Structure 1
Amino acid sequence: MRRLICLSVSLALAAWCAASLANTPADTAPGARLPDWAVPTSYRLALTVNPAAGEFSGTATIKVDLKQPADHLWLNGRSLHVSKVVVTDAKGEVHAGTYEEAQPQEGVSRVDFGAVLKPQALTLEIAYSAPFNQQLQGLYKVTHASVPYVMTQMEPVSARFAFPGFDEPGFKTPYDIALTIPADQVGVANARQIGETSGRPGWKTLTFAQTRPLPTYLVAFAVGKWDIANAPAIAPDSFRSEALPLRGIAAQGEAHRMQHVLGETPSIIHALENYYGFGYPFGKLDLLAAPDFSAGAMENPGLVTFRDWLLLLDPDSPAQYVRGSFNVTAHELAHQWTGDTVTLAWWDDLWLNEAFATWMQQKVTMKVHPEYRADLDRISGAQQAMQNDSLVSARKIRQPITGNGDIETAFDSITYRKGAAVLGMFEGYVGEDTFQKGMRAYIQAHKFGNATADDLVDAIAAAANQGDSFKQAFNSFLDQSGVPYVRVALEHQNGQVVLNLSQDRYLPLGSSGEANRTWGIPVCVRYAVAGGTRTGCQLLTKPTGTMVLSNASASTWVMPNADARGYYRFSLDKSQWQDLAQHLGELNAREQLAYADSIDAGFRKGEWNAAETLAALKPVTGVATDEVAIAPLNTIAWIYRYEAASDAQRSAIVTWVKDAYLPRLQRLGYQRKPGESSADAVLRGQLAEALALDFKLPEVRAAMLQFGDAALSKTPDGKLNFDVVNPDLLGVALAVAAQEHGKPVVDALISTLPKVSSPDLRNAMLAGLSRVEDPALADQVRDFAIGKDVKVGEMAMILRGSSETPQQRDGLWQWFTLRYPLVLARTGSFAGGLLPGLVGGGHCSVAAADHLQSFFQPRLKDLPGADRGLAQTRERILLCAALKAKQDPASIPH
């Protein structure tokens, strides 16, 4: 209802009044995006927060630029109980406003002014209260060792649970934050604390410096009995004139375990500053170990939050945690430039945040810790993305966003890993120095503002002196889904060696996709010349092309993806595959990974049978580089689980695996050695898990059972004896013990878990519980997973581990369909898009695909984003069934 009434006025005033009414938006509640005729220019948040309570309260004061006459505006707010709205116009006149949730599920609300106001600067003051969120969104509450804490996770669209505002990345403004908290609590936020005052007895108010311009999803604060570890400030450098304060923040009694990550952080910051030519701009840097968290970590400027096991490390922590800690820290700190300093304008360009942080993290890791082989992580990550990207239902890197569900499901391997691989491919094409020049120009042009993909591509093209053809090639990977399939054939013509190239879309066997698709692909090949090898490159923009291999030897062989820079798979005829396999040792480790992936791709396309695949992958298992040697394991595991039809065939595959990998594990041994590399420690854990749990080698299971029994023995004070087992193997050892001994082990782990606060020990116990095979015990474990003693962020760890055998998959499905309301209540609609994959993963029959569809289809309205999760999981099941039907089990040696 319009609240402005035109009474008796002069003709001129009446005309103005009519015009104002006519120009007032007569709109309906918006969907995913708010209209742009009301834009925030700053926020002041004053919140009262007590972690011991069930809710919080506060006032959000938002300055708004009203760009057209209106009697209302739209903003975001969800589950907020608004008690008062005051609208102050540019003249200082006060209007009593009203607040109404127009679309509660979307979090869209309407604020009415009580009058039509002309375009001007307004101030909205909204007083409200809200419950602490129970599903790790907005301002949420968790407990650690029975102590409550509250903290934020706003990305992507959860700030609306914490305060009313314009919850979109394009609305970027400064924030002033004040927290009124119990006097014995600690409060932290994005910016440094600048004041503390005492209020009523037992309370204090903390004020923080104004932030740089931020979107709502990067606003962060936390309250609780946090421990703080102060680290030496990060020294100034040529890009930053002042020392950077650095702190670690953790739950009570835990901050002493943050010294390792705090010691690594300065090298990461300096590497990033040197690359971007731009100093860290957010004044201070806190790293917070969250007791429970929905993501791996979150790049909030000035207050970066992590799952606790990534930060709480000691000399006995699993090696994979130490390595993962560095990689994730480098990723989140890379965001301080790409994401925080320059922010995507809308969620369809999420890759500008995540792909760049993934790509940059790998560069930083290679510089600071080259032994971690981030160059191989880049390739294996791209290959994992290709598995997703091979689906007809795969997202584009730049996927149109039509609702909150699309936003929430955009955080996938396409955005992170495919995006990073495409960046690396075009970086290789123009040269690293040229690419860096373009990146520096991009950051400078858009610092503290927003950008789009076109802005980035234009900056790289300008630095490389490239025109429209380059931009079109780059955009061909951004704006269409799918993996290019480059077919390569060698031919001798007029004394020259020529490569005939063709491209289409890679589609696995059984896919319904259209193969006729073209990209602008920087194809680079390695080939043999007298005395060595040479690399040739060409931008393939048409369905077919040719490349002359200058000075190629008469008997040359070709590696069609030199240095594995290209985001594509390749195919050769069988004789050329044999030639390449014979020269595997002349390829670098990156190329060897690409070789293994393209063998797997040919198998899944139906071009190789199981016997041919096993033979082609066998040489890979013998290479020196660990990451390459174990690459075939996923392919072999598929053949073992889905194709082997008899005990003799399964035994033959186990023998193949044993011959390939047991000697490597035996050389490593089961105990850590003084001075051994982290690579050895990580490989030991990977091989022990694969051989003991996936392929069930008796000798490895016996060793793991011995360790598991030792860990489950009681110490003199009645606790389980976890410290006696190599921490890299503890989860595997507990899993084998649970499988072999059954209920006594399951009961012991379930009764002990609530008493354990160390995140690495909890993860090991959860890993052990997740691999239980007895159906009744598996249901007991799953019921435990949705109870209060398992954190929300830990639940999937148990459920996801139950899909190795048909019995486990069927058991999980039956359990889930009966417990669905309870699972949803814990995860919330925020994670609903992941549920089809969680319970449907691993199934391999048309019947299973149909069951999945019939269960989730009527529930999609309550699960934003689950339509894509359902489509992709169903497609994977059907592709698995098609490949299984194609195979001839008799081809497996036995």
Structure 2
Amino acid sequence: MHRFARPFALTVLAMCCGAALASTPADQAPHGTLPRWAVPESYQLSFKVDPKQQDYSGTTTIKVDLKQAADHLWLDGRDLNVSKVTITDASGTAHDGKYVAVAPNEGVSRIDFGSTLKPQQLTLTIEYTAPLNQQLQGLYKVSHAGVPYAMTQMEPISARYAFPGFDEPGFKTPYDISLTIPSDVTAVANTKQTGEAAAGAGWKTLTFAKTQPLPTYLVAFAVGPWDIVNGPDISPDDYRTDVLPLRGIAAHGEGHRMQHVLSETPSIIHTLENYYGFGYPFGKLDLLAAPDFSAGAMENPGLVTFRDWLLLLDPDSPAKYVRGSFNVTAHELAHQWTGDTVTLAWWNDIWLNEAFATWMQQKVTMKVHPEYRADLDRIHGAEGAMQNDSLTSARQIRQPITGNGDIETAFDGITYQKGAAVIGMFEGYVGEDTFQKGMRAYIQAHKFGNAKADDLVGAIATAANQGETFKHAFNSFLDQSGVPYVQAQLDQKNGKTILHLTQSRYLPTGSTGNANRVWGIPVCVRYATSDGTKQSCELLDKATASMVLTDASTPTWVMPNANARGYYRFSLSKKDWANLTQHVAALSDTEQLAYADSIDAGFRHGDLNAGDVMTALKPLTSVATREVAVAPLETIEWIYSNEATTDAQRAKVEAWVKDAYLPRMEQLGYQRKSGEPEGDSLLRSALAEVLALDFKLPEVRTALLKQGDAALAKKADGHLNLTAADPDLLGVALAVAVQERGEPALDALIAELPQTTDPALRNAMLQGLSATDTPALADKARDFALTKQVKVGEMAAILRGGHDTPAARDALWNWFTGHYDQVIARTGSFAGGRLPSLVGGDGCSKAEADRLQAYFEPRLKDVTGADRGLAQTREQTLLCTALKAKQDPSKI
């Protein structure tokens, strides 16, 4: 899943043995995993749903293997109004049971049998009603163009909102789903529709084929007046004998915009089948554009759901949406093997789903669209994860679950991007063909079942003929947090060039963490020889080691992370840094990204000052590769915002930026050119946003304001002329216009947004609304974010504005603390882990850290997952404060 993390709160105890669980008192709810003495074997799910209504009804029938005598069992259900429970024993005798919501805030419930039953197969039938959820969880209600729809989002633990069941990934069973819906709408589900029958005046019942074994979080269906459009059939291949039907599902009137993504999908499926040696096993494939969604996308087998802007594309759609569409589709379809066919046993191994889907997405993209440079995306993603992983409050990849909040907040950069980088590092260590052999064995061994980390690591080790040393090295990255810091020192001895390596945990200035930590790191270095360069590799699994650099030139330079394959940062002596900087053009573009990140790391570690950084990063700004050219900007922006305290210092940084980037911006121009590479469009939009909004260069703002004014001009029909701006620049143009024109521009966007259904145009307007830099107008935009005219999933796009200056952050803080209850009421639990960052992110003073702690600490019970979000946001704020205090602005 591509996801914006969501949380809950609950103390989770480790799963006990079967005998102990059987004796769980009937009034004491189990926490975390449910007892294994009652195990579901299959479900029949029947729903009666009218999206126009506020409630729906359902009947859930579960065949349960009761493994030992008991007078009750535990399952999950939340906000369900259960009217009847029928228990049918193995002999076919039925009697009434009782449903008790023992821990309603946690979604844990009990079925009382009325007497002690011996071990046997039971059939539970539970009849209930429930509200269509308003917070994008379970079975929820959403609208498009004023028309209501109902659809599902079950991951991670929201199936309990939709139906009673065993809501854990370790329980995989087949499902039979039937939907009774109004006669004038349609419905889709995980599997093919097998029947339709009248169900009384104005109603019909649709039935669907039995699913493969699934966990509850992958059950999916959607009801409404959907457009259903056929894509190209996906042809049989060496691993699948049947044609795979492909369809696009979109809100009424939007189906025609699905053709691009449907045309790309067959190549993704074939690439995945060829890699895994295992055909797509779920019978049919629908891609659904959700009108509102809490995640980016969700991998439900047979019915993959997405935020609508990822699927609804036009010929002039922004390049970032076109590439994003392919990447996210590749990610979700990779899940059909890692996640859907093979499912994690418990949430501590969510990386088995998400890290592998991220890693595989990048392999697919490199295969089908090499020009998208997914190899650079991997490195950029890993370096983003390193920012979080440098915190002492960072999660492990394989994080123990101590509460439902840990489940929700596990969907983060550590799981996705760090996990993918670690997988890629060990893939490079054993070789791609060997790694593929291990992955194929893993899928075959656990298909339609569950797996744990040891299963995967063991499969790779077996394929690579590796033993415990390899497993320990891999697990050292899974089971401890932090970024390795490899310090490299060149030495000449007895006519040999020796590279001394020391590893520790990377900790930025101001960190209170312990740097003494050791990983098993596959370290590869590139160095200069008389006729080019060479590589040397070693598994660094001790605190120190040395490598002889055979045939190294004298003097030589060294790049301590060859091909940027390793998940670690490196440091060099000042002499060796200077030497490497002189040869940065000799590095590959992947290595140039790692170079930029380690320069930033050295700055934040306290080894380099701002002047050193600006000198070291300047050569990258003229590199042709877009991702490399813009890599210095985040570090330079920090110096500009936090270290440059006088007009002269700020002018010096502005001059650096202007010299480095303005000629390139002007060469690109402010309009997309016919036939230009997508990379130019992406670079144009990236530079325009940073130069106009972060550094506020007048030349760029003037050009964008012209487009913003044109977009805000009303057409004859009374709507804004949003297509007057370049589609890649519309959002930043509107942002500049709001900042320059003030309230009239803001009011125009507030009036237009409810009348606009196009998701790309809505996103651009949201960027404009978030950009206002006047406190009173910012409050007006935030007030608007709380209304139903802004979708629940869009709220953060407005609220994340106002972080640029201390005054803006103070204004955001005052508004948020005055509207806290309204924000929580609208978002429910799905955004709780992000709230501290949303309101306190980018803080850089102890006062900001202290107020964040004082406000959220007594409210942690309100939204689960906020405890981790609070710890990390507070630590980031204190680290920024410490780095700022260490700086000498005269060194700029």
Distance 1:370 1:839 in 2: 38
> Is the 1:24–1:71 Cα contact (8 Å) retained in structure 2?
no
Hey, what does 2:127 align to over in structure 1? 127
Q: Which amino acid aligns with 1:127?
A: E
Q: How does 1:290-439 map to 2 (within 5 A)?
A: 290-439=290-439
What amino acid is the match of 1:545?
A: A
Off by >6 Å, runs of 4+ in structure 1: 20-23
Alignment of 1:519-558 (within 5 A): 519-558=519-558
Is the 8 Å Cα contact of residues 527 and 556 (structure 1) preserved in structure 2? yes
Secondary structure (helix, strand or coil) at the match of 1:740 reads helix
Check the 8 A contact 2:21/2:37 in 1, yes or no: no
Question: How has the CA–CA distance of structure 1 residues 44 and 653 changed in structure 2, closer, same or farther, with 3 Å as cutoff?
Answer: same
**2:765 aligned partner, one-letter code:** M
Letter of the structure 2 residue corresponding to residue 668 of structure 1: L
**Residue matched to 2:89:** 89
Partner deviation per Cα, 1:625-645 (whole Å, 9 max, x = no partner): 110010010001111111110
Whole-Å separation in 2 of the counterparts to 1:794 and 1:657: 32
- Could you tell me which amino acid in structure 2 is paired with residue 473 of structure 1? A
Aligned to 1:503: 503
CA displacement, residues 2-56 of structure 1 (integer Å, 9 cap, x when unaligned): xxxxxxxxxxxxxxxxxx9997653521112111110000000011000000000
| Cross-structure match for 1:26 | 25
Q: Deviation of residue 493 (structure 1)?
A: 1.7
For 2:848 and 2:760, locate their aligned partners in 1 and report how far apart those are by CA, in whole Å: 35
Answer whether contact 1:267 1:368 (CA < 8 A) is retained: yes
| Structure 2 CA distance for partners of 1:21 and 1:330, relative to 1, 3 Å | closer
Matching residue of 2:653: 653
TM-score with structure 1 length normalisation?
0.97
Hey, what's the Cα distance between the residues in 2 that align with 1:520 and 1:259?
A: 46
- Asked if the contact 2:189–2:221 (Cα under 8 Å) also holds between the matched residues in 1, the reply is yes
Q: Hey, what's the Cα distance between the residues in 2 that align with 1:651 and 1:837?
A: 30
**Partners in 2 of 1:455 and 1:670 — Cα distance?**
52
Tell me if 1:835 matches 2:838.
no
For 2:471 and 2:832, the matched residues in 1 are separated by 36
Cα distance between partner residues in 2 of 1:529 and 1:340: 48
Q: CA deviation at 1:713?
A: 1.1
Question: In 2, distance between residues paired with 1:399 and 1:735?
Answer: 39
The CA distance in 1 between the partners of 2:637 and 2:883, in whole Å, is: 14
Corresponding letter in the other structure for 2:414: I
Is the alpha carbon distance of 1:516 and 1:206 closer, same or farther for their aligned partners in structure 2, counting shifts above 3 Å? Answer: same
Tell me by how many angstroms 1:93 deviates: 1.2
CA–CA distance in structure 2, aligned partners of residues 232 and 524 of structure 1: 44
Alpha-carbon distance between aligned partners in 1 of 2:890 and 2:534, rounded to the nearest angstrom: 41
Specify the alignment match of 1:673 in structure 2. Answer: 673
Q: Which has the higher contact order (CA 8 A, sep 6+)?
A: 2
Q: Tell me how far apart the structure 1 counterparts of residues 398 and 316 of structure 2 sit (CA, whole Å).
A: 42
Q: Distance in 1 between matches of 2:654 and 2:130?
A: 56
- 1:651 is displaced (CA, Å) by 1.4
Q: Distance in 1 between matches of 2:791 and 2:421?
A: 34
Q: Is this contact kept in 2: 1:25–1:70, CA < 8 A?
A: no
Deviations 1:815-854 (A, max 9, x none): 0000000000111123211100110101110011000000
Name the aligned partner's letter for residue 104 of structure 1: P
Using a 3 Å threshold, how does the CA distance of structure 1 residues 720 and 25 change in structure 2: closer, same or farther? closer
Task: Provide the C-alpha distance between the structure 1 equivalents of 2:232 and 2:417, rounded to a whole number of angstroms.
Answer: 34
* Pair 1:111 & 2:126 matched: no
1:508-553 residue CA offsets vs partner (Å, 9 max, x unmatched): 0000000000000000000111211111100001000011111111
Determine helix, strand or coil for the equivalent of 2:831.
helix
Give the Cα separation in 2 of the matches to 1:308 and 1:57. 27
> How many angstroms does 1:403 deviate by?
1.5
Residue of structure 2 equivalent to 1:450: 450
CA-CA distance at 1:715 after TM superposition? 1.4
Question: Would the aligned equivalents of 1:59 and 1:127 in 2 still touch at CA under 8 Å?
Answer: yes
Partner of 1:51: 51
Distance 1:829 1:585 in 2: 48
Distance 2:446 2:801 in 1: 44
| Residues 783-840 of structure 1: CA deviation (Å, up to 9, x unaligned) | 0011110000000001112211222111111100000000001111232111001101
Describe the SS at the equivalent of 2:232: strand
Q: Write out per-residue CA displacement over residues 727-767 of structure 1, whole angstroms, 9 at most, x where no aligned residue.
A: 00000110100000100000000011000000000000000
Separation in structure 2 between the aligned mates of residue 833 and residue 483 of structure 1, nearest angstrom: 23
Conserved? CA contact 2:33–2:168, under 8 Å: yes
Q: Distance in 2 between matches of 1:119 and 1:402?
A: 31
Q: Name the counterpart of 2:562.
A: 562
C-alpha deviations, 1:245-291, integer Å up to 9, x for none?
A: 00000001001000000000000000000000000000000000000
What SS does structure 2 have at the residue aligned with 1:234?
coil
Q: Is the 1:239–1:273 contact (alpha carbons within 8 Å) kept by the matching residues of 2? A: yes
TM-score (norm 2): 0.97
Question: What is the aligned partner in structure 1 of residue 854 from structure 2?
Answer: 854
Q: Distance in 2 between matches of 1:890 and 1:537?
A: 41
Query: Given residue 769 of structure 2, which amino acid in structure 1 is its aligned partner?
Result: L
Q: How does 1:58-207 map to 2 (within 5 A)?
A: 58-207=58-207
Structure-to-structure mapping, 1:661-810, within 5 angstroms: 661-810=661-810
Deviating more after overlay: 21-30 vs 430-439? 21-30
Tell me the equivalent position of 1:227.
Answer: 227
Q: Which amino acid aligns with 1:675?
A: G
- Are 2:491 and 1:491 equivalent residues in the alignment? yes
Helix, strand or coil at the partner of 2:87: strand
What residue is the counterpart of 1:826 in the other structure?
A: 826
What runs of 5+ residues in structure 1 fail to find an aligned partner?
A: 1-19
Q: Secondary structure at the match of 1:861?
A: coil
CA shift digits 1:111-166 (9 cap, x unpaired):
00111001111100000000010100000001110000010000000000000000
For residues 80 and 129 of structure 2, the distance between their equivalents in structure 1, rounded to whole angstroms, comes to 6
Task: Give the percent of matched residue pairs that are identical in Structure 1 and Structure 2.
Answer: 72
Tell me the secondary structure at the aligned position of residue 197 of structure 1.
Answer: strand
Give unpaired runs (5+ residues) of structure 2.
1-18
Say if 2:21 and 2:35, in contact at 8 Å, map to a contact too.
Answer: no
Contact kept in structure 1, 2:359 and 2:420, CA below 8 Å: yes
Q: Is the 8 A contact 1:779 1:815 kept in 2?
A: yes
CA contact (8 A) 2:294 2:830 kept: no
Shift of 1:95: 2.1
Tell me which moved more, 436-445 or 646-655. 646-655
